[in-house]
Amino acid sequence: MPKRVLTGNIVSDKGDKTVVVLVERKVKHPLYGKIIRRSKKYHAHDEGNEYKAGETVRIEETAPISKLKTWKVIDRVNTHSTPTVSDAA
């Protein structure tokens, strides 16, 4: 069975080797049809304490590491990249 991979923002990095990642998803209301944001927090393993609050990261499902942690951080998602402009004019 493939491992699930989710993308979210780190809301807390206070625990040792642990970050809390807020993952948001959009669902359609079954009756009214409005698009609603649903969110859930996941505790993820951060071996080197290298990720800080406010960063966008990808997390991957793993075997249970502790009572709350069954996810680990894979990498950062570069959300602040600037587009490259070529001077071919």
**pLDDT tens digit string along 14-23?**
999 999 999 9
Nearest-angstrom CA–CA distance, 23 and 30: 21
Look at residue 85 and tell me whether its pLDDT is greater than 80: no
Residue 1, pLDDT score: 78
Nearest-angstrom CA–CA distance, 62 and 73: 10
Of the pLDDT bands very low, low, confident and very high (cuts 50, 70, 90), residue 37 is very high
Among 18, 6, 9, 14, residue whose Cα is nearest residue 80: 9
Q: What is the pTM of this model?
A: 0.83
Residue 2, pLDDT score: 83
Q: What's the rounded mean pLDDT across residues 59-77?
A: 96
Q: What are the sequence ranges of the domains in the chain?
A: 5-76
CATH among 2.40.50.140, 3.50.50.60, 3.40.50.1980, 3.30.70.1380 for 5-76: 2.40.50.140
Q: What's the CA angle centered on 47, arms 81 and 8, to 5 degrees?
A: 40
Look at residue 9 and tell me whether its pLDDT is greater than 80: yes
Q: Are strands 71-76 and 56-61 parallel, antiparallel or unpaired?
A: antiparallel
